[in-house]
Amino acid sequence: MKLWIEEPKRIPVWITLGRTVLIPKTQDLTLAKDYRPITCLNTSYKIFTATLAKYVKNHVVENEIWDENQMGTCENVLGTVDQLIIDNAIMGEVKDYHRNLAVAYYDYQKAYDMVHHDWMLRVYDWMGIPEKICKVIKKLMNGWKTRLEVKTNKEVLLSRWINIKKGFLQEDTYSPIGFCLTEIPVMMMLQETDGYKMGLPGDRQLKRTHSLFIDDLKTYQENHVKLELANNILVQASLDTGAMYGVKKCAKIIFERGKMVKGNGLQIMGERIEALNPENNEIYKFLGCEQAAGSDMTRILVRVESEMRKRMIAITEMSLYDKNMIKAINCRVIPVAGYVMNVCRFTNKQLDELDKMIKSILKERKMHGRQCSNERLYLKRDAGGRGLKSLKDVYAETKVRVACYMANSKNKWIHEAWKREINKEGLSIKKEAECEMAQIDIKLELLEDEVRLEDERLEGDFQELWKVLKKEIKKKRKKKRLDSYKEKKMQSQTYMKLDIESHKWLTSNIDPKKVAAIVAMQEQMVETKAWKVHRGIGGNNDRCRLCKEYQENVMHLLSGCKVLAGTEYLRRHNNALMILCVEWGKLNGLLPPKTSWYKEKWEKGKIFENENQKMCWDFEYNLRKTTTARRPDVTIEDKNSKKILLIDMACPNENNIAEKRREKLTKYQQLAFEIRERRPGFEVTIVPIVIGCLGGGMKAVISQVKRLDFGEHKTNEICREMLKTVLFESESIIRKIISGLIQEN
């Protein structure tokens, strides 16, 4: 690439060739606008132009040519949020201090496609960009070509090669910065106008003429006359730059003494930009936020709720595993509201309603139990939850993040906006952020140019500062959520007996309905007879429908009903244990490598043996001395190391795990002693594998399975599969009983 910069002639012709795929946007494909063009470019080209873009941007910034009102392509900023923060401050001033203001919104029509190439080169020359870089850019521009591709039912149609004679190459990594540079001379002319003077009464020295993010432009002036002068600059400049405006997507707003009024429009390119009429509740969407006399929360909420609902329905209709579904919701649904939270204020009721909407859709699709706790839903997966983000949590975190950013920002307009927040008598971003932190027992102080955490000043830039705060927020919120969960005695009863390893099943690929059912089972939120009586909907009879002897609750149905002992419980036990045995058999050459545990059905006394290893399934020892316990579930013998493992498994309820483990150790002591006598020199070890019917005791299970020498990774993998199988079988038992598939004999 360095060679290409030194000798542009050596840049190969093929590197600038693109392929523009036309993606249908609607069913009616008769017009060009019904397609979305996506241009595919050579990776080497994109890497090269990304390097050029970085060099050019650094040159412009270092020489103080960059338009400081432009937040597009900038690093270490919030981007569009910066512009909305400044805009909100201006609109707040206008309203609070009854000031005059005239603003205009401009929509560039096909911004990247319309800029004249000669204008680009003139701008680069004026900026003092080195000649060799300009030659390289010119060489690339002269080579820009693409072919249109359209897929039909029968074939792929390709157009002839099309030369790009104006504008930028679509999907080029250089295009965003290249476009921003072409706007700088025009914006410099705008900065010569009077603009709007920001600041508190008596201290209005800071001028703002425009806000710009790539091609989204909003101009500010004190009145209509001055706004027309600014508008004329843009009109005249467009003749040189080639810029075109989608006039129907442009707008103007006039404020007189703090109130929005109907004003005259603006003439541009032979058309008219209309002024918004407050009597008709007209709004304009700027950088993703509906605006008129400030942000229009009513319209914003309607749009946000509608879009979130649409995305929720689409995601839950996909065939996604639970962890991927939750991730999709967090990445595609939550940000719809999350973005707006940066600059808009939501009430607790509004946030609750949005959270409720998400949960209601999950419940409708049986992806979240109707009586299950919100705490498990919002906890991280490594803590036994499902990892869904709460809108209330996102809102609190967003407000803290924005407030800290403003307090730490060196941007003069952001700083001015922050001064306004500090001096507000009512609710402000500063007060909201401090209050949100106080609710999770964190003391945060936000000063004009300082952030203090627990009375200690936080040093560093915003990224460093936010890293510290985010870590503290995460720790405190987890504790608060767990404390709240523990107060729900019935729902948290099982959870409190689970260790961190008992949550590993949540990392597996599992259907959301299955996950929801297992969580409901762990929280005792299953329609057993005891649950119905407790809820006052099942009469007074809480006896088990199968054995008639004990209270019918989750624990009884999963581990205490004698009717299920020889069938459902045995199948659960055997399936989980089979995973361990099959994997050990494959590792030691006793079973073919592709053996699947769920296909194996071993009879009592089954033996697998080779010259080095031996494995016995449900084998009864016939020794001279008498003992009642002669049939461990599995016996594994390593002939080389002279080690014998007596493996016995159980799936009791979570209250009896420790007792059951001790029972296994005691039960087979005599058998182990007899085997040692019969096999001198052999080390005999009892290996109790006790997995609670709801997943408890996994830390101890892992320590026992390690005796089989699988290695750490394989051990964890096997234990996770065993855990998952136990939970799946337990859920199946509950489901079959509740649905009537298992009935009294």
Burial (0-12, 13-18, 19+ Cβ within 10 Å), 279: exposed
Q: Is 317 left (phi over 0), alpha (psi -120 to 50) or beta?
A: alpha
Contact 732, 725 (CB under 8 A): no
CA atoms within 13 A on the CB side of 644: 19
So what's the pLDDT on residue 6?
72
Measure the CA angle with vertex 33, ends 31 and 39; round to 5°.
120
So what's the pLDDT on residue 581?
97
So what's the pLDDT on residue 290?
86
Determine the 3-state secondary structure of 390 from DSSP.
Answer: coil
So what's the pLDDT on residue 2?
66
So what's the pLDDT on residue 299?
86
Q: Which amino acid is at 255?
A: F
Contact 235, 241 (CB under 8 A): no
Cα–Cα distance for residue pair 256/224, rounded to 1 Å: 10
Measure the CA angle with vertex 312, ends 33 and 513; round to 5°.
140
The residues, any chain, with a CB within 8 Å of residue 35's CB and separated by 6 or more, are 22, 23, 24, 25, 29, 150
Q: Is 218 left (phi over 0), alpha (psi -120 to 50) or beta?
A: beta
- DSSP strand pairing (17-24 vs 145-151): parallel
Determine the 3-state secondary structure of 148 from DSSP.
Answer: strand
Token readout for 666 is: 């005691």
Mean pLDDT per 10-residue segment, the chain (745 residues): 73 89 78 82 90 93 94 91 94 92 91 89 93 90 90 83 88 92 94 92 90 95 95 90 88 93 86 88 88 78 95 97 97 96 93 97 95 94 96 96 94 93 89 94 93 92 93 94 92 94 95 97 95 87 93 95 95 97 96 94 94 95 76 95 96 95 94 91 96 97 96 96 98 95 76
